[in-house]
Amino acid sequence: MREVRKPLLVSLFLNLIVTCFILETLHISFVNGGEGFSGDYSKLSGIIIPGYASTQLRAWSILDCPYSPLDFNPLDSVWLDTTKLLSAVNCWLKCMLLDPYNQTDHPECKSRPDSGLSAITEIDPGYITGPLSSVWKEWVKWCIQFGVEANAILAAPYDWRLSASMLEERDLYFHKLKLTFETALRLRGGPSVVFAHSLGNNVFRYFLEWLKLEIAPKKYVQWLDDHIHAYFAVGSPFLGSSQTVKGALSGETFGLPISEGTVRLLFNSFGSSVWMMPFSKYCRTDNVYWKHFFEGRYTGNHKYHCDDMEFRFNYSGWPTNIVNIEIPSTRGIDAYPSITEVAQQNLSSRECGLPTQLSFSAREVSDGTFFRAIKDYDPDTEKLLYQLEKLYHDDAVLNPLTPWDRPPLKNIFCIYGIDSKTEVGYYFAPSGKPYPDNWIITDIIYENEGALFSRSGNLVNGNPGASSGDETVPYNSLSWCKTWLGSKVNITRAPQSEHDGSDVQVDLNVEHHHNADIVPNMTRDPRVKYITYYEDSESLPERRTAIWEIDKASHRNIVRSPVLMRELWLQMWHDIHPDAKSKFVTKAKRGPLRNEDCYWDYGKARCAWSEHCEYRYVFGDVHLGQSCRLKSSSADLLLRYL
């Protein structure tokens, strides 16, 4: 009897060891019939820094709106309440406008940013407006679906109307952001993953520079290593955006039901508008913070200087000149008369004069040369010049209108869309109308898939990049983070959709020259949308840098892209897995991760990806694709990505 029990006990013991080993290896548990997974996220936190106009603003005043039944009361939504925007636009403007010089609120109304995740998920909640204004809602939904705890996702909303220095001066924003990182570390026991979109990347850059003045220099990098595991820079305007100039001169409505002149008044009152002005990649400033450590011995000034490349080549490293403008023949107040003056003038007696056309590069926009040239013809340029000098070039922490070097973070993932039609230059002329509608756009220069052309379709001479931008930010600005890559880069191009690996192209150890772009020598099927990965984990010890270029991903919708969220979560799962064999997640194959990724293959009359998906009807399904779900036996679904 003992001889029978002994082998049985040994067998049970061995099975127990094997089972524990498998569970420890997987670190993953499938629930709800394989609908989702929860990895070892117990120590990680996610901190979201939203982009421009992506934080709700709420009223902090009581404002009685005449001729309208809708008033503004404390905590009422200001940005964005389309009902009040349509019915009480003058009151709404009072709650949105800032003084262009001191960035204070309107005397009758003030607004402040909302807090928490609700401030960034839907800007205008509602049955109709909610889906249209959804920004980070899908992102948070993915976090929940993949088992992330509720207190692990933290939002860092801010008043996107303010410049960086005013964010700290008025709201102590960067002090609060530092406390957010430190609180997340104490709460979860591990570092945070930073997700920043658009202007949020500029905010995060300023925070990293501001942090140098708050932490002893010897402890600065250690603080970053302790508090930040990875930084995902999504759609970052590293060198600015041409559309900022368009907004400053003629207004950019972004689909809002208000006039371009009204939007221009609003836009030019915000200190943050200048934050996204295009600037030269060849011009820098002295490192200001060293003055605080070597007081008395540091003799340098906060000087803005450009190297020889700026004057040797055209366009400041951009595809073309940003602004081409016709200067009117009249000067002073006659260049922008009031509405009553226009009505009273006898235009037939006005003396005719030929306008002068001038062109300005990105450097001449950011250093104020352009605005000084049209100062006699436009009243808003005085405000913009003041903001440029006071809030940016004279900033005590950082001049944001200078190129950004790679931050000393462990892991950086730079992600952006490419190959969309993007505005890179403009032709302006006097409109003959009173201010603020005194300029009109006569032509627009676009970049699209490596070519420049005008609005009429004619080709334009210039320096187009290898690709085009994401509809909002030009390619040269988005791809500046490629300069953070080292001398040897691994490049992989794979389809965005689920694939079996047959169309994946890999090029290892590609030589990369400093401050130069990398153009992969790979084929492209025009019917397929790709992701191109540039990965470097060797150039800097214990540091990884990766660039993800996503075909046809638009600037405003990229954070809602299922493809981006899939890749991001696979990379995060790879990073936390103890048995990951490579520095980056493999791109060899992509299969479904959620029920939503399964679909019906009408050609084969079955669910696609039959090895992972099966037909399983649930009451309420209205079509065949909805009934395709992950198999409950797909416990090894993610092992291929190690």
Position 82, amino acid: T
| Catalytic member of 470, 536, 551, 575 | 470
Position 420, amino acid: S
> Tell me, what's the pLDDT at 529?
95
> Tell me, what's the pLDDT at 31?
33
- Annotated active-site residue 198? The verdict is yes
Position 160, amino acid: W
Q: Where are the beta strands (DSSP E) in 463-601?
A: 488-495, 505-511, 530-536, 544-551, 600-601
Residues 544 and 5: their CA atoms lie apart, in Å, by 54
> Tell me, what's the pLDDT at 158?
96
Q: Where are the beta strands (DSSP E) in 518-568?
A: 530-536, 544-551
Mean pLDDT by 10 residues, the chain (642 residues): 42 39 34 37 84 92 84 89 85 93 93 92 71 76 76 92 95 96 92 94 97 93 95 96 94 84 92 95 74 43 78 91 87 50 44 76 95 92 94 92 94 96 95 90 94 92 92 96 94 92 93 88 92 94 95 92 90 83 89 86 90 89 90 62 70
527-551 per-position pLDDT tens digit: 999 999 999 999 888 899 999 999 9
Which tokens is 393 given?
Answer: 């070039």
Which tokens is 491 given?
Answer: 């490049």
Residues 280 and 265: their CA atoms lie apart, in Å, by 26
* pTM given for the model: 0.87
Q: Angle, nearest 10°, between helix axes 173-188 and 217-227?
A: 60
| Catalytic member of 61, 198, 280, 366 | 198
**Radius of gyration of the chain from its Cα atoms, rounded to whole angstroms:** 27
Which tokens is 315 given?
Answer: 């366009």
> Tell me, what's the pLDDT at 228?
96
DSSP 8-state class, residue 499: B
Residues 133 and 110: their CA atoms lie apart, in Å, by 23
Contact 46, 24 (CB under 8 A): no
Residues 414 and 479: their CA atoms lie apart, in Å, by 8
Structural domains for the chain? 45-234 (3.40.50), 476-596 (no CATH), 597-641 (no CATH)
In 3D, which of 110, 103, 239 has the Cα closest to residue 170?
Answer: 103
Which tokens is 110 given?
Answer: 């003030």
- Annotated active-site residue 470? The verdict is yes
Contact 517, 479 (CB under 8 A): yes
Provide the 3-class DSSP secondary structure of residue 590. strand
Residues 242 and 339: their CA atoms lie apart, in Å, by 30
CA 588 from centre of chain = 28
> Tell me, what's the pLDDT at 516?
83
- Annotated active-site residue 514? The verdict is yes
Strands 422-430 and 111-113: unpaired
> Tell me, what's the pLDDT at 128?
57
Peptide bond into 179 cis (omega under 30): no
Separation in Å, CA 26 to CA 38, 286, 591, 636, 642: 11, 50, 18, 8, 11
> Tell me, what's the pLDDT at 293?
47
E strand or H helix at 173, and its extent? helix 173-188
E strand or H helix at 78, and its extent? strand 77-79
> Tell me, what's the pLDDT at 334?
54
Measured at the CA of 554, the angle between CA 552 and CA 557, to 5 degrees, comes to 130
